[in-house]
Chain A
């Protein structure tokens, strides 16, 4: 039997019914190819679930410059000295080996939304039928005078993403004299991981209390109050770190002097510290901006929440921290993981010629360490409201921990273990 007859017999045999069913539907010029740019919580999940939900029918290429995934959630435990970066590092190989995702470790330099292709740093380009863009965030260094310079010199490390800066920030804490000051400056919301900076302040306080008990932690917040799990953080600070942690609101940083260790604010008095962790505002990753996708204040990307397709470019789906979030939807890794699944299901349905799921759901659980041993959480469930074209929290669902506990630390570790496997395993 020649190859053509083999194929015909295969098609007519095992798949005749489905081919007949399909001929009446939309057809594609070739097996669809989806390119995913960015291998964080959103992008890696999208790559895996595009394969799962299409029963491996869609070709998926994941482009990510980093050789391995490093989790930002839990990375404050590295700042506090409780974990190593290696504990938060997961290989991308599972996506290739177990799910048939093609991995390209390179940087995308530009997106041609009309010609539907992406250009690579190493040269060449890859065409796509659909693009999933999970560009993460970039710090807005220009929002705080002197910060870019202080950052370039390694004096002030925002450590918005997990990696070398996370380890270096711990090293700064470890090198601080007993009796020194660690100051963390928090930008106005929205930013990545609402409880993140407060968790970091807690773990820095825990570290200093144990190793340099004469030291002080200053939490300098541009917001009017702690923006997530307010009561739980404040109770933990008072009960655990009353003597060493001080919280100040309405502290919007406007300039820094890295060499002198000074941060200046719009209104509040200057602060001098031994270690300055000034976290500038953030916006969608540069690739989203340069492609013209960040249509909200030139910071965030507006999407259609049924598919996470960009409101300004067809066939480009945007996930995670980079989007203009729905009301009361935090910029979290867990949310990005959820965005990715809704987008993957929508892409599969669309390629199939099916209607999109009219009622997608999202869940979110953010665990935060308030000490090396105790954890608090915030949880929510979101459903899609057609009349508002957005997700809203389901009334009566969601909430926070009644109190901090060691039990929730077990759940926090289980969350990390399971979501990393859900993305990459």
Chain B
């Protein structure tokens, strides 16, 4: 929320919760954030894993790389302990949305 919106929300309650959220995201954005949040327990909020984490950071990964790796996990051609079992649970369309989300700067 911008400072202006915060001020407006404080002083003119009534309309502005809706306005402040709507102005910054669409229903589809929220659904993608929620989808990406299923990765966060192991890979950090918004893909920002802890510095020394054995599980990799996803934020900032190139989109094509993440899509390719997820498909390799699904195919079983990329070695993993957990990720073959997790990647298999997601569709191509979901993997595309995830990869696009994590590739965006944040």
Chain A residues packing against B (C-beta within 8 Å): 3, 6-7, 10-11, 13-15, 17-19, 21-23, 25-32, 48-49, 52-58, 334, 337-338, 341-342, 345, 348-349, 351-355, 357, 360-363, 365, 377, 379-383, 394, 396-399, 401, 405, 407-408, 410-411, 413-415, 417-419, 421-422, 425
Most buried by B among A31, A58, A362: A31
Q: When chains A and B are docked, how far (Å) is the Cα of A365 from the Cα of B41?
A: 9
B40 to chain A, nearest CB (A): 5
The reply to whether B21 and A55 contact each other, CB–CB distance below 8 Å, is yes
The reply to whether A32 and B17 contact each other, CB–CB distance below 8 Å, is yes
Task: Indicate whether B61 reaches chain A with its CB closer than 8 angstroms.
Answer: no
A20 to chain B, nearest CB (A): 9
The reply to whether A334 and B41 contact each other, CB–CB distance below 8 Å, is yes
The reply to whether B1 and A55 contact each other, CB–CB distance below 8 Å, is yes
Contacts of A362 in B (CB 8 A): 38
The reply to whether A360 and B34 contact each other, CB–CB distance below 8 Å, is yes
Known: A341-B38, A394-B89, A421-B44. 13 other contacts (CB 8 A): A22-B16, A27-B18, A28-B18, A55-B20, A345-B33, A349-B27, A351-B21, A357-B34, A365-B82, A397-B87, A397-B89, A414-B50, A422-B44
Q: When chains A and B are docked, how far (Å) is the Cα of A348 from the Cα of B86?
A: 27
Return the chain A residue nearest B83 by Cβ.
A379
- A18, A27, A365: the one contacting B23 at CB < 8 Å is A18
Task: Indicate whether B35 reaches chain A with its CB closer than 8 angstroms.
Answer: yes
Main secondary structure, interface of B, reads helix
Contacts of A28 in B (CB 8 A): 13-14, 17-18
The reply to whether A13 and B4 contact each other, CB–CB distance below 8 Å, is yes
Cβ < 8 Å to A, chain B residues 2-35: 2, 4-25, 27, 30-31, 33-35
Listed A/B pairs (21) with beta-carbon separation below 8 Å: A14-B2, A14-B4, A22-B15, A25-B22, A27-B15, A30-B14, A30-B17, A31-B10, A55-B21, A55-B24, A338-B38, A351-B17, A363-B39, A365-B41, A377-B82, A397-B87, A397-B89, A405-B81, A408-B81, A418-B41, A422-B41
The reply to whether A10 and B7 contact each other, CB–CB distance below 8 Å, is yes
Contacts of B15 in A (CB 8 A): 19, 22-23, 27
Return the chain A residue nearest B45 by Cβ.
A422
The reply to whether B20 and A57 contact each other, CB–CB distance below 8 Å, is yes
The reply to whether B19 and A19 contact each other, CB–CB distance below 8 Å, is yes
